[in-house]
Copies of this chain bind each other. A is one copy, B any other.
Amino acid sequence: MSRPRPAGQHTVRRHNSALVLGALSTAPGSSRAAVAAATGLTKATVSSLVDRLIGAGLIAEGEVEFRLGPGRRGTALHLSPAGPHGLGVEIGVDHITTWLVDFTGHVRRKWVRPGDNRNSAPARVLAKVATAVRAAATEDVPIGGVGVAVPGLVEAATGTLRVAPNLGWREVDVRDELVRRAALDVPVLVGNEANLAALAELRHGVGGRDFVHISGEIGIGAGIVVHGALFEGVSGFGGELGHLPVDPRGPVCGCGSRGCLERLAGQDRIVRAAGVTTVAELLTALAGNEKAALAAVRTAARWLGVALSAAINLLDLPTVVLGGTYAHLEPWLGPPLAAELSRRVLGAQWSPVRVVASELGADAAVLGAAGSAIRAILADPDPYVASVLG
C-alpha cells in the first residue's frame, strides 16, 4: 500500500501508467529501457510503474532476455493475456452476441443467442442480455469492463439510448438497467454498433486510418474514421447513413422520414427482392448466378452508391469498408458501387475511392464493444489497478 500523495502526483501516475501501456500496445516486447525511450519517462519511473502494472496483472514479463545492443540486455514486456478482459455484447435485431476478449485483443470465448428482438420490450431483451453477461462472467478470468453495442442513437454525454428504430425502442438507459440486472461492479460502456464496428475495423482491419465503415444488416449504420479517430458528431449521433434520404419521395421509414437508404438497400429488402428468405440462401443464389438475386444486389448497390457519394462528396474519405452482411456480398456489391461512386463523387478522379470488404464481417460490432472496455483501461488503468491492489 502506498502512502497518500498529493492529487497532482496521482494524476501524473495515472497519465504515466497509460503512457507505459500505450508504448507496450504499440511495440509489444519492449524492455523497460525501450519504454523509457518511447515515453520520455526516466528508467526509474518506468520501472516503478511497470512493477505496479505487473502486480495488478496488466503487464507480463517475457521468459527470455534479449540483447538490445552492445552489452545491453532487457526483459521483454507485454500486455498480459491474463489481464483484464473486455466483455463485448451486441444487442442485434435478431441476436444477442457476447464475446470475451483478453487484454491483448485476442478472442477467448464467443456466445450467440439467436432470436427476434424486434418490438420486444426492452426489459425482456435486457433480462436476456443480463443472463448472457452473468454467464460470461463465470469464466475464470478477470473482467475489466463491459461494452454494449446497440443499433441506435446513443447520446455521448449521458450514454442513453435515445432511439433504436429497428428494435422499436426509445429512451432506454441500457447501462443502468444492465448494471442493476447483472449486478455488475465493473464499468459498462454503451455505444452505437456502427461506431464500435468502425473502431474494431480501425484496430484489426483493412481500412487504414481514414475510412467509412458500413455496417450493413437489417439496419444500415456507418462509422466515420478520420486521421485514426472516430468522428461521432457533437452529440454522438453521427454516421446515420441508413437514414440518408436517397429517394426523397420513396417509401416511409420507421424513423418517420421517406426513402431512407435502409428501406432501399437493407438486408431485408435485398433478400426479399431476390425471392429468398435468408442471407445464406441469397449467397447461394448469387453463387449460382440467379438473375433475381443479381438484380437485387445491383439495385442495392446503386442506392448505396447514392448515399455513399453524398458521404464522400462531404467528407472526402479514400476508403469505403463494406461490413456486416455487405462484407459477404462484396464480390457482387463492390463493382457496381464503385462505378456509382466514380460517377457521382466530384473529386473521384483525383482522390479515387477504394471499396473493400471487411474481414471482420458481422463480428466487428461485438469485437469493438469488447475492445471499448479494454481501450478504457489502456487509457486510464488506475481505477482497475486500484481495484486489484486495493
A residues 86-123 touching B (CB-CB < 8 Å): none
CB-CB under 8 A from A246, the residues of chain B are 245, 248
Partner of A235, one of B163, B243, B316: B316
Interface string of A254-269 (1 = CB under 8 A from B): 0111000000000000
Judge whether A173 is part of the interface by a CB distance below 8 angstroms: no
Given A248-B306, A306-B248, A314 and B347 contact (CB-CB distance below 8 Å): no
A residues 155-175 touching B (CB-CB < 8 Å): 155, 162-163, 165
Partner of A315, one of B233, B248, B255, B316: B233
Given A241-B314, A244-B314, A309-B245, A235 and B351 contact (CB-CB distance below 8 Å): yes
Do the beta carbons of B350 and A316 come within 8 Å of each other? no
Is the contact region of chain A dominated by helix, strand, or loop, or is it mixed?
loop
Judge whether A153 is part of the interface by a CB distance below 8 angstroms: yes
Given A244-B310, A257-B344, A314-B224, A237 and B350 contact (CB-CB distance below 8 Å): yes
Q: Shortest Cβ distance from A72 into chain B, in angstroms?
A: 29
Do the beta carbons of B234 and A210 come within 8 Å of each other? yes
Judge whether A382 is part of the interface by a CB distance below 8 angstroms: no
How extensive is the interface on chain A, given as a class? 35 or more
Select from chain B the residue with minimum beta-carbon distance to A152.
B346
Partner of A238, one of B233, B316, B344: B316
Judge whether A324 is part of the interface by a CB distance below 8 angstroms: no
Judge whether A142 is part of the interface by a CB distance below 8 angstroms: no
Partner of A239, one of B162, B245, B314: B314
Do the beta carbons of A343 and B248 come within 8 Å of each other? no
Judge whether A247 is part of the interface by a CB distance below 8 angstroms: yes
Q: Shortest Cβ distance from A7 into chain B, in angstroms?
A: 21
Roughly how many angstroms separate A238 CA and B311 CA in the complex, as a whole number?
A: 9
Judge whether A277 is part of the interface by a CB distance below 8 angstroms: no
Q: Shortest Cβ distance from A378 into chain B, in angstroms?
A: 24
Select from chain B the residue with minimum beta-carbon distance to A227.
B234
Do the beta carbons of A245 and B316 come within 8 Å of each other? no
CB-CB under 8 A from A247, the residues of chain B are 248
Do the beta carbons of B306 and A240 come within 8 Å of each other? no
CB-CB under 8 A from A256, the residues of chain B are 343
CB-CB under 8 A from A306, the residues of chain B are 245, 248
Q: Shortest Cβ distance from A71 into chain B, in angstroms?
A: 31
CB-CB under 8 A from A210, the residues of chain B are 234
Q: Shortest Cβ distance from A32 into chain B, in angstroms?
A: 29
Given A153-B346, A248-B306, A351-B237, A243 and B163 contact (CB-CB distance below 8 Å): no
